[in-house]
Amino acid sequence: MAAMALGGQTCRQIAETLGLTKSTVNRWLQEMREDCPTRFVGCAEIVAAAVAGYWSLHDEALEAFRLSQDDKVAFQELFWFLPWRTLNGFA
């Protein structure tokens, strides 16, 4: 019914198609309009919570990457002589 109304059909056309009275169709459409904002408020909160969760996951992954890069640099600084030793046959 909502799709029919959004498609541009009048209450009378919807009532004829569905075999209902015009007043019933009008009342049901009005109830749908009144319920719509409350349903979207709940959806907005769910989406906001999901987005916050994804940002948290993003921040955690970025921090883990930075720490892995710090470990890599520290390892290279600690064993700076290894490439020279392996290239010159001292391994």
* All structural domains of the chain with their residue ranges: 2-87
pLDDT of the residue at 82: 60
Amino acid at 15: A
Mean of pLDDT values over 48-69: 88
Tokens read off for 7: 């498609």
* Residue 33 to residue 18: CA distance in whole angstroms: 19
Q: Return d(Cα 20, Cα 28) in angstroms, integer.
A: 11
Token representation of residue 9: 């059909």
- Band (pLDDT 50/70/90 cuts) for residue 36 is confident
Q: What is the pTM of this model?
A: 0.41
Residues 42, 14: contact at Cβ < 8 Å? no
pLDDT at 19 over 90: yes
Helix (H) or strand (E) holding 52: helix 22-78
8 A C-beta contact, residue 29 and residue 53? no
